[in-house]
Structure 1
Amino acid sequence: MSTHPASSPAEEDEPFHEAISRAIAILVERREDPPDLTALAAEVGLHPHHFQRVFSRWVGISPKRFVQYLRLDHAKRLLSAPTSLLDAALDTGLSGPSRLHDLFVTCEAMTPGDWKGRGAGLTIRWGLHASPFGPSLIGTTDRGVCWFSFVVGGEAAAIAEFAGEWPGAELVRDQAATAEVAARMFAPVAGPATGSLPLPVLLRGTNFQVKVWEALLSIPSGRVASYGDVAAAIGRPSASRAVGGAVGSNPVSVLIPCHRVIRSSGVIHNYRWGADKKQALLAWEAARTSAAA
């Protein structure tokens, strides 16, 4: 009798991560004149029917409908909707979990001493994982996820950036330790539940940065807020520029959803991993939110 568990649908789709990532990149790049299903499937090397099934499973809607979520007018509609969760003052500290699509995320901020030590005495297990938006690097500790980045510019550069942020920590490559985080972050819409326990995040930043990152968790999936909205939510309405700096320095992208902050005009820009990836993430979340509804 085999002792290996049957593969899950998500595991069966794993070889197609690269194809879906490429398809999303193509649709973002050519959103004003997107290729049809047959042409897009051919570009990523899959049969049209198979491609449609895998894409819809991971993104939640068809490629044709996905393009609709990439348009500027959709971002403007999201921005004009009332951000009710940001209207109230953020007075719960870091103790309350926030909903992030199908995840619960809880945050813990490092002490000032830990922050200055830049990881001294900390063991960080890290791994490289595929995602629908390209390869990613995840770092996790016994206290929570402390790093998430997309790999842009090659693995060596991504690893060097990660290591540079934690010079005092012991870094151990451990794919198994980070695999669950990757699976929960990018689980397909129709996939089985990947666990309901909160996913803890360990934040290393100034008090102001942590307050901004906490505010980002209050922006619902499938929605956006402006830099001014976030500044007002933390009681610093004139600090939009400083908020922008804190948003850009977020060390745990996607889980702390800095991609949900855009200009008040609806223009999507200034993302650490590229504006196209930011636009793709917003469209993906909008599609998942629509599918869930």
Structure 2
Amino acid sequence: MPCLNPIADPVDAQHHRAIAAAIRHLVENWQDQPPLEDLAAVAGISPFHFQRLFTRWAGISPKRFVQFLTLDNAKRLLAENHSVLDVALDVGLSGPSRLHDLFVACEAMTPGEYKALGGGLTIHWGLHPTPFGPSLVATTDRGICWLSFAEDPDGRDALNELREAWPAARLVEDADATRPAAARAFRWDGAESEPLRLLIKGTNFQIKVWEALMRIPSGVVVSYEDVARAIGRPTAMRAVGAAIGRNPVCVLIPCHRVIQKSGVIHNYRYGVPRKRALLAWEQGRAETEEAA
């Protein structure tokens, strides 16, 4: 097994670990409204510096972040945005920064390439610290083909998943090659002119679902029914859910933006707490942009 090295910039890595620890604490204890001092202690930095670091990263204060973690907030978003996916598919997305399809563009493999399971393809991969925990990112000459969160400290679980997804490809550990993609995935501010490219491998149905997910604007949630209706398969909610669960490029293909019609947040491949945190982060950034 190769040696997995998640260290990039030591300061960035330290900040990511601090924010990740605070987010875990917030998600697990949001009903108690943890005070700033407790969060700073969990992060291992002073309250003043923690407040500045968190606000710079999330765009909002920790207190406001907690408000985005609640069930009531999810219900409100569903009520406000019940037709957003239909609109996006009908007229296209034209705003500057919150619109995900301007940030990410995808290319599906041909049937022949799909059958070859990555034969002849070289994939560079690296493990990178993020505010949501370590993430394994894999890239090819044609785009990002994998992004997942790692539960094992050394990332071996994520690497094994990558191998299973691309069994015939040549895998090369190269964190320097994948670092720019990881940075843009978790620091996106809409300022980049060139979209990130994705190379995805799946059935026609799965690709159709994943393309629909990429039209959900950041800061918005939709239901599984919304996605099924948007792809012209209104009764295929179970199949839609299965396709969402097979998403090979999390965050960039935002499966976390799909929740139950009741507002309940569940069924995330990388854990419900992480899904809640991703949604709160995006809503905070969207709120900041709207106020600008």
Query: TM (normalized to structure 2)?
Result: 0.89
Q: Where does residue 215 of structure 2 map in the other structure?
A: 218
Percentage of identical aligned residues? 61
Question: CA offset at residue 82 of structure 1?
Answer: 3.1
Aligned position for 1:285: 282
1:105/1:255 contact within 8 Å kept? yes
Instruction: Kindly report which structure 2 residues correspond to 1:102-251, keeping only aligned pairs within 5 A, or say none.
Output: 104-154=103-153, 155-187=155-187, 195-251=192-248
Supply the distance in 2 between the matched residues of 1:194 and 1:152 (Cα, whole angstroms).
Answer: 31
One-letter amino acid of the structure 1 residue matched with residue 163 of structure 2: A
Deviations 1:30-62 (A, max 9, x none): 011132001111122101101111111111111
User: Post-superposition shift, 1:13?
Assistant: 4.2
Distance 1:36 1:251 in 2: 37
Could you tell me how far 1:14 is from its partner in structure 2?
4.0
Alignment check: 8 A CA contact 1:99 1:105 kept: no
Q: 1:185 deviation in Å?
A: 1.3
**Cα distance between partner residues in 2 of 1:290 and 1:134:** 24
1 or 2, which has the higher helix percentage?
2
What value does the CA root-mean-square deviation take over the aligned residues?
2.3
| Contact 1:57–1:188 (8 Å) recurs in 2 | no
Query: Quick one: structure 1 residues 40 and 18, their matched pair in 2 at CA, closer, same or farther if it must change by over 3 Å?
Result: same
| 1:186 positional shift | 1.4
Q: Deviations over 1:226-250 (max 9, x none)?
A: 0000000000000000000000000
Deviations 1:238-291 (A, max 9, x none): 000000000000000000000000000000000000001001000000000001
CA contact (8 A) 1:227 1:261 kept: yes
The one-letter code of the counterpart of 2:65 is F
In the alignment, the residues of structure 2 paired with residue 235 and residue 114 of structure 1 have an alpha-carbon distance, to the nearest angstrom, of: 26
Regions of 4+ moved over 6 Å: none
Partner of 2:4: none
**Shift, 1:12, TM fit:** 5.0
Gapped regions of structure 2 (runs ≥ 5): 1-8
CA-CA distance at 1:11 after TM superposition: 8.0
> Is the contact made by 1:100 and 1:255 (CA closer than 8 Å) also made in structure 2?
no
SS of structure 1 residue aligned to 2:124: strand
Equivalent residue number for residue 3 of structure 1: none
- TM-score of the pair, normalised by structure 1: 0.89
Contiguous gaps of at least 5 residues in structure 1:
1-9
